[in-house]
Structure 1
Amino acid sequence: MIDRIGKEFEFQQTALSLRQQRQEVLASNIANADTPHYKARDIDFAASLRGALDERMRLPDTRLTLTSARHIPAQAHTAGPAEELYRVPTQPSIDGNTVDMNVERVQFADNTMRYQTDLTLIDRRIKSLLAAMQQ
Protein backbone atom coordinates (compact mmCIF):
# COMPACT_ATOMS: atom_id res chain seq x y z
CA MET A 1 0.00 0.00 0.00
CA ILE A 2 2.73 2.47 0.91
CA ASP A 3 4.57 1.66 -2.32
CA ARG A 4 1.46 2.63 -4.28
CA ILE A 5 1.19 5.92 -2.40
CA GLY A 6 4.87 6.59 -3.05
CA LYS A 7 4.39 5.96 -6.75
CA GLU A 8 1.45 8.39 -6.75
CA PHE A 9 3.80 11.20 -5.80
CA GLU A 10 6.84 10.17 -7.85
CA PHE A 11 5.96 12.41 -10.79
CA GLN A 12 5.31 15.43 -8.56
CA GLN A 13 8.51 14.81 -6.64
CA THR A 14 10.52 14.77 -9.86
CA ALA A 15 8.79 17.92 -11.13
CA LEU A 16 9.42 19.78 -7.86
CA SER A 17 13.06 18.75 -7.86
CA LEU A 18 13.56 20.05 -11.41
CA ARG A 19 11.70 23.28 -10.63
CA GLN A 20 13.91 23.81 -7.58
CA GLN A 21 17.03 23.23 -9.68
CA ARG A 22 15.77 25.69 -12.31
CA GLN A 23 15.05 28.26 -9.61
CA GLU A 24 18.68 28.04 -8.46
CA VAL A 25 19.94 28.55 -12.01
CA LEU A 26 17.68 31.56 -12.55
CA ALA A 27 18.71 33.05 -9.20
CA SER A 28 22.34 32.62 -10.20
CA ASN A 29 21.66 34.49 -13.45
CA ILE A 30 20.07 37.37 -11.55
CA ALA A 31 22.90 37.47 -9.02
CA ASN A 32 25.47 37.67 -11.83
CA ALA A 33 23.68 40.32 -13.89
CA ASP A 34 26.64 42.71 -13.50
CA THR A 35 29.43 40.13 -13.82
CA PRO A 36 31.46 40.70 -17.01
CA HIS A 37 31.43 37.76 -19.46
CA TYR A 38 28.83 35.84 -17.43
CA LYS A 39 26.66 33.68 -19.69
CA ALA A 40 23.02 33.29 -18.66
CA ARG A 41 21.84 29.70 -18.33
CA ASP A 42 18.51 27.94 -18.09
CA ILE A 43 17.02 24.46 -18.00
CA ASP A 44 14.63 23.07 -20.59
CA PHE A 45 12.09 21.90 -18.02
CA ALA A 46 9.95 19.77 -20.34
CA ALA A 47 12.94 17.92 -21.82
CA SER A 48 14.48 17.40 -18.38
CA LEU A 49 11.22 16.04 -16.98
CA ARG A 50 10.82 13.67 -19.94
CA GLY A 51 14.41 12.52 -19.47
CA ALA A 52 13.93 11.99 -15.73
CA LEU A 53 10.76 9.98 -16.30
CA ASP A 54 12.42 7.90 -19.02
CA GLU A 55 15.29 7.18 -16.63
CA ARG A 56 12.90 5.34 -14.32
CA MET A 57 12.75 2.59 -16.92
CA ARG A 58 16.54 2.13 -16.94
CA LEU A 59 18.59 -0.03 -14.66
CA PRO A 60 20.42 1.60 -11.77
CA ASP A 61 24.20 1.97 -12.13
CA THR A 62 25.35 -1.49 -13.14
CA ARG A 63 28.35 -3.04 -14.78
CA LEU A 64 28.50 -6.28 -16.68
CA THR A 65 30.99 -8.86 -15.56
CA LEU A 66 33.42 -9.73 -18.35
CA THR A 67 34.38 -13.38 -18.67
CA SER A 68 36.59 -12.86 -21.69
CA ALA A 69 38.92 -10.10 -22.85
CA ARG A 70 36.98 -10.05 -26.13
CA HIS A 71 33.71 -9.06 -24.46
CA ILE A 72 32.51 -5.49 -24.87
CA PRO A 73 32.38 -3.67 -21.54
CA ALA A 74 28.95 -2.19 -20.84
CA GLN A 75 27.60 0.05 -18.16
CA ALA A 76 24.28 1.73 -17.28
CA HIS A 77 24.27 5.11 -15.59
CA THR A 78 21.51 6.91 -13.74
CA ALA A 79 20.64 10.43 -14.77
CA GLY A 80 22.37 13.33 -13.10
CA PRO A 81 21.01 16.80 -12.69
CA ALA A 82 19.24 18.48 -15.60
CA GLU A 83 21.44 19.81 -18.35
CA GLU A 84 21.97 23.55 -18.16
CA LEU A 85 21.75 25.33 -21.49
CA TYR A 86 23.13 28.75 -22.34
CA ARG A 87 20.50 31.34 -23.10
CA VAL A 88 20.72 33.10 -26.46
CA PRO A 89 20.98 36.83 -25.75
CA THR A 90 18.34 39.07 -27.29
CA GLN A 91 20.60 42.09 -27.14
CA PRO A 92 24.37 41.77 -26.74
CA SER A 93 26.16 43.79 -24.08
CA ILE A 94 29.57 45.41 -24.30
CA ASP A 95 31.02 43.45 -21.36
CA GLY A 96 29.95 40.05 -22.78
CA ASN A 97 27.28 39.42 -20.12
CA THR A 98 24.18 37.74 -21.60
CA VAL A 99 21.82 38.25 -18.63
CA ASP A 100 18.69 40.19 -19.58
CA MET A 101 17.08 41.16 -16.27
CA ASN A 102 13.60 41.47 -17.76
CA VAL A 103 13.75 37.92 -19.13
CA GLU A 104 15.25 36.58 -15.90
CA ARG A 105 12.60 38.23 -13.71
CA VAL A 106 9.76 36.87 -15.84
CA GLN A 107 11.25 33.36 -15.91
CA PHE A 108 11.90 33.47 -12.15
CA ALA A 109 8.33 34.58 -11.40
CA ASP A 110 6.88 31.98 -13.80
CA ASN A 111 8.93 29.18 -12.26
CA THR A 112 7.96 30.31 -8.74
CA MET A 113 4.28 30.31 -9.67
CA ARG A 114 4.53 26.83 -11.18
CA TYR A 115 6.44 25.54 -8.13
CA GLN A 116 3.69 26.86 -5.84
CA THR A 117 1.04 25.31 -8.09
CA ASP A 118 2.77 21.93 -7.89
CA LEU A 119 2.88 22.21 -4.08
CA THR A 120 -0.83 23.06 -4.00
CA LEU A 121 -1.66 20.04 -6.18
CA ILE A 122 0.36 17.75 -3.92
CA ASP A 123 -1.33 19.21 -0.83
CA ARG A 124 -4.78 18.62 -2.31
CA ARG A 125 -3.86 15.07 -3.32
CA ILE A 126 -2.65 14.29 0.21
CA LYS A 127 -5.82 15.76 1.71
CA SER A 128 -8.00 13.65 -0.60
CA LEU A 129 -6.04 10.50 0.33
CA LEU A 130 -6.43 11.32 4.03
CA ALA A 131 -10.17 11.87 3.57
CA ALA A 132 -10.48 8.54 1.77
CA MET A 133 -8.61 6.74 4.55
CA GLN A 134 -10.78 8.28 7.27
CA GLN A 135 -14.02 7.05 5.68
Structure 2
Amino acid sequence: MQLFGDTFHVLENSLNYASEKNRAISNNISNVDTPGYKAKDVSFGKMLEGELQATRTNARHLPFNQGERNGFRTTVRSGTTYNHNGNNVDIDKEMTELANNQIYYQALVDRISGKFRSLESVIKGGSA
Protein backbone atom coordinates (compact mmCIF):
# COMPACT_ATOMS: atom_id res chain seq x y z
CA MET A 1 0.00 0.00 0.00
CA GLN A 2 1.32 3.41 -0.93
CA LEU A 3 0.59 6.25 1.44
CA PHE A 4 0.32 8.96 -1.25
CA GLY A 5 -0.60 6.92 -4.31
CA ASP A 6 1.54 6.95 -7.43
CA THR A 7 1.83 10.73 -7.76
CA PHE A 8 5.09 11.14 -5.87
CA HIS A 9 6.59 8.06 -7.54
CA VAL A 10 5.73 9.39 -11.01
CA LEU A 11 7.07 12.85 -10.18
CA GLU A 12 10.27 11.33 -8.77
CA ASN A 13 10.84 9.25 -11.92
CA SER A 14 10.12 12.29 -14.07
CA LEU A 15 12.66 14.36 -12.12
CA ASN A 16 15.22 11.55 -12.51
CA TYR A 17 14.54 11.49 -16.25
CA ALA A 18 14.94 15.27 -16.55
CA SER A 19 18.20 15.13 -14.54
CA GLU A 20 19.61 12.34 -16.72
CA LYS A 21 18.57 14.20 -19.88
CA ASN A 22 20.25 17.35 -18.58
CA ARG A 23 23.41 15.37 -17.88
CA ALA A 24 23.43 13.95 -21.44
CA ILE A 25 22.82 17.38 -23.00
CA SER A 26 25.58 18.91 -20.86
CA ASN A 27 28.00 16.19 -21.96
CA ASN A 28 27.05 16.79 -25.58
CA ILE A 29 27.64 20.54 -25.26
CA SER A 30 30.94 20.11 -23.44
CA ASN A 31 32.16 17.71 -26.15
CA VAL A 32 31.08 19.83 -29.11
CA ASP A 33 34.71 20.08 -30.32
CA THR A 34 35.87 16.59 -29.32
CA PRO A 35 36.92 14.65 -32.44
CA GLY A 36 34.81 11.54 -33.02
CA TYR A 37 32.38 12.24 -30.15
CA LYS A 38 28.85 11.00 -30.79
CA ALA A 39 25.96 12.81 -29.10
CA LYS A 40 23.77 11.00 -26.58
CA ASP A 41 20.00 11.08 -26.13
CA VAL A 42 17.80 10.01 -23.22
CA SER A 43 14.35 8.57 -23.92
CA PHE A 44 11.53 6.89 -22.06
CA GLY A 45 11.79 3.15 -22.64
CA LYS A 46 8.55 2.27 -20.87
CA MET A 47 6.50 4.45 -23.22
CA LEU A 48 7.82 2.49 -26.19
CA GLU A 49 7.37 -0.84 -24.44
CA GLY A 50 3.60 -0.41 -24.41
CA GLU A 51 3.59 0.36 -28.13
CA LEU A 52 5.77 -2.59 -29.11
CA GLN A 53 3.85 -5.17 -27.05
CA ALA A 54 6.97 -7.34 -26.83
CA THR A 55 6.98 -10.20 -24.35
CA ARG A 56 9.55 -12.76 -23.26
CA THR A 57 8.43 -16.21 -24.32
CA ASN A 58 11.30 -18.04 -22.64
CA ALA A 59 13.23 -17.34 -19.44
CA ARG A 60 16.49 -17.74 -21.37
CA HIS A 61 15.65 -14.79 -23.65
CA LEU A 62 17.20 -11.43 -22.90
CA PRO A 63 14.93 -8.95 -21.11
CA PHE A 64 13.55 -6.08 -23.21
CA ASN A 65 14.39 -3.38 -20.68
CA GLN A 66 18.11 -4.12 -20.71
CA GLY A 67 20.13 -0.94 -20.18
CA GLU A 68 17.19 0.99 -18.72
CA ARG A 69 17.07 2.70 -15.36
CA ASN A 70 13.77 3.92 -14.00
CA GLY A 71 12.03 3.45 -17.35
CA PHE A 72 14.39 5.55 -19.48
CA ARG A 73 17.55 4.82 -21.38
CA THR A 74 20.55 6.68 -22.79
CA THR A 75 21.42 5.99 -26.41
CA VAL A 76 24.19 7.20 -28.71
CA ARG A 77 23.26 9.05 -31.89
CA SER A 78 25.20 7.33 -34.65
CA GLY A 79 25.16 7.46 -38.41
CA THR A 80 25.50 11.24 -38.61
CA THR A 81 28.47 13.58 -38.78
CA TYR A 82 28.07 17.36 -38.68
CA ASN A 83 31.68 18.39 -38.27
CA HIS A 84 34.83 17.58 -40.26
CA ASN A 85 36.29 15.77 -37.22
CA GLY A 86 33.58 13.06 -37.04
CA ASN A 87 31.63 14.80 -34.27
CA ASN A 88 27.82 14.86 -34.57
CA VAL A 89 26.86 17.45 -31.92
CA ASP A 90 24.56 20.17 -33.27
CA ILE A 91 25.03 22.98 -30.75
CA ASP A 92 21.80 24.76 -31.74
CA LYS A 93 19.77 21.57 -31.22
CA GLU A 94 21.46 20.91 -27.87
CA MET A 95 20.82 24.44 -26.60
CA THR A 96 17.15 24.17 -27.62
CA GLU A 97 16.81 20.80 -25.87
CA LEU A 98 18.53 22.22 -22.78
CA ALA A 99 16.06 25.12 -22.58
CA ASN A 100 13.08 22.76 -23.07
CA ASN A 101 14.39 20.37 -20.44
CA GLN A 102 14.91 23.19 -17.93
CA ILE A 103 11.30 24.32 -18.41
CA TYR A 104 10.10 20.71 -17.98
CA TYR A 105 12.20 20.25 -14.83
CA GLN A 106 10.94 23.50 -13.30
CA ALA A 107 7.33 22.49 -14.00
CA LEU A 108 7.94 19.19 -12.20
CA VAL A 109 9.52 20.96 -9.23
CA ASP A 110 6.56 23.36 -9.05
CA ARG A 111 4.13 20.42 -9.15
CA ILE A 112 5.87 18.46 -6.39
CA SER A 113 6.17 21.62 -4.28
CA GLY A 114 2.42 22.11 -4.63
CA LYS A 115 1.84 18.54 -3.50
CA PHE A 116 3.98 19.10 -0.42
CA ARG A 117 2.18 22.38 0.34
CA SER A 118 -1.14 20.53 0.16
CA LEU A 119 0.14 17.88 2.58
CA GLU A 120 1.43 20.58 4.90
CA SER A 121 -1.99 22.26 4.83
CA VAL A 122 -3.71 18.99 5.71
CA ILE A 123 -1.26 18.30 8.54
CA LYS A 124 -1.84 21.79 9.97
CA GLY A 125 -5.57 21.25 9.83
CA GLY A 126 -6.26 23.45 6.81
CA SER A 127 -5.06 26.68 8.41
CA ALA A 128 -2.37 28.74 6.75
Q: Offset at 1:120? A: 0.6
SS in 1 for 2:111: helix
2: CA distance, partners of 1:76 / 1:86:
21
Q: Contact 2:45/2:73 (CA < 8 Å) preserved in 1?
A: yes
Show the counterpart of 2:7.
8
Instruction: Note the alpha carbon deviations across 1:52-82, whole angstroms, 9 max, x for none.
Output: 9x8xxxxxxxxxxxxxxxxx86699787423
Output the CA distance in 2 between the equivalents of 1:7 and 1:76.
29
Name the residue aligned to 2:22: 23
Closer/same/farther in 2, CA of residues 119 and 94 from structure 1, 3 Å limit: same
* Residue ranges of structure 1 left out of the alignment (5+ in a row): 55-71
Structure label with greater radius of gyration: 1
Name structure 2 gaps, 5 residues minimum: 51-57
Paired residues, number: 114
* Contact preservation (8 Å) 1:26, 1:41: yes
Equivalent residue, structure 1, for 2:118: 128
Indicate conservation of the 8 Å contact 2:15/2:105, yes or no.
yes
Alpha-carbon contact 1:14-1:49 (below 8 Å) kept: no
1:113 aligns with 2:112: no
**Residue in 2 that maps onto 1:58:** none
RMSD: 3.0
2:103 is paired with a residue whose SS is helix
Instruction: Find the aligned partners of 2:115 and 2:101 in 1 and give their Cα distance.
Output: 21
Q: Is the 8 A contact 1:18 1:49 kept in 2?
A: no
TM-score by length of 2: 0.72
CA–CA distance in structure 2, aligned partners of residues 25 and 109 of structure 1: 13
